[in-house]
Structure 1
Amino acid sequence: MLWPSGGEEPEAEAPSPSQTASATPTPTPSPTPTGPPANTTSYEAGGLPRADVFGIHPELPVDDDPDAPTLGLTARAADVAGAPVFADPTGEPVAWLGQDQQFSGANVPVVEMDENWARVLLVGRHAAAGDGDPSQLSGWMRVADLELTPAEQSVHVDLEERTIEIATTTDDAESNEVVATDFALGTEATPTPVGRTFIMFEDVVESLAYTRGHPIVYLGVQSPTLAGYDGQSVAVTAFHYHDVRSGAISNGCIRVAPEAIEALAALPEGTPVYIS
């Protein structure tokens, strides 16, 4: 082989003892674990309350940073039996998230994560409106208990500008689609909740004539002022179609046009929704 100068490659000199000693590789230190230590205890649902839309969980914290973005991940219990939910990673579980459950809420956004633990948004309430804080609920789950998938889409609702955008982020590109430039929202007495939440599930409810057969997109957050609605023990916020869909006139739901509700209903469960 020739050196760039054009001459032949010189013969290598034998290394000195000191050079030989310095060539000994230095061991690579193990990475320092991040976050609370792992919990490897085996748990069963037992008498733990289900983290579903009807749940009241005073042990679980409300979301303490509702204006922050999520991590772009959706979590689901990896085991068909479900997985435990913790109020904090150092304690014992206080609720149980099923892999599949009635009215879903089984696919949830991750808002914080370290080596062993993920904090997720959850359906249910810390307390019903009038009895305490009904804001968006959160909880901790063990990373080992979860299936994690990228959340490529998110919904952004601006209550002042009356716009709804669906943002899509992939490895290759980012795009934003405006699906509504006007909608109806909650009144002063029954406001639309603000902050981050997520799509709980979608359903067509033929008995609700005002939807005209369009799907309802239920969210993981409930009314800040109503403990229940229409005889139900829940007051879930949702996107849905309505003939009258402009102004502050609803019980907190967001009433949209047909093309908007169809676009929103096409999004997967667990898609983050940001209402500002």
Structure 2
Amino acid sequence: MDDATLRYIAEITSATTQEALWSMHLEKMASYGFDRLLYGYTNFRVDYNLGDPEDFVVLSNLDRAYLTRFFGERMFLHGPMIRWALDHVGAQSWEHIAAVMLKRPMTREEQEVFEFNKSYGVTAGYTVSFKSVSMRAKGAISLIGPPGVPQSVLDDIWSEHGDTLVLMNNVLHLKLLNLPYSNPQRALTKRQREVLEWVSDGKTIQDISTLMGRTTATVEKHLRLARESLGVETTAQAVLKATFLNQIFIVES
């Protein structure tokens, strides 16, 4: 491992926010010729059901219109790179993934994704699928070349730097797993985090009321709002999801 890679790994492992980490990674990957990235991670996968997109951790510098359609219209369910990532671990070129897909007739939905990607110049790149110890978790990142750059150019870059790129992206993924989820749709207030932390410690509503110096009705209100923010029905589910999203027991910056 060269000194530049070591310095970069030291920098990203010291990041304290998703925003700072992602900004550094975009710049680093662009220096290798991959100027567009799409990272995704979920803790709520069940087979090919990836759950609610609002629970996904998604980071990307792709055009916002692209991302709005890709996730809003659930096109990701038929994306060849995502389908490959669900079944594999490691890195693969898009040319290889496409060749495997074309061994059978494409569905209408797959054809729509193909044409959609082509319209945005999302045609050449590499996808890295991360290993997970949980059947519910899956993460991957696509490194995309500039519009018009052929796969062969990216293949030459990967031939020389592929091992380093896989290493840096694995470190990125492991670091992101330890940072709070920043989706405002799922964000908890300080009080909501506090009551969930007390619940996870085994405290009753009355206990929490005494510890916080609030009425039981106020505690129950915070719990209800926390459940609504997290999109769950029970407080136990709220504690579990908040834990997965690193929303409780976090260190205030």
Q: Which category of TM-score, normalised to the shorter sequence, fits these structures?
A: under 0.3
- TM-score, normalising length from structure 2? 0.23
- TM-score, normalising length from structure 1? 0.22
Higher relative contact order (CA closer than 8 Å, sequence separation 6+): 2
Give 1 or 2: higher helix fraction: 2
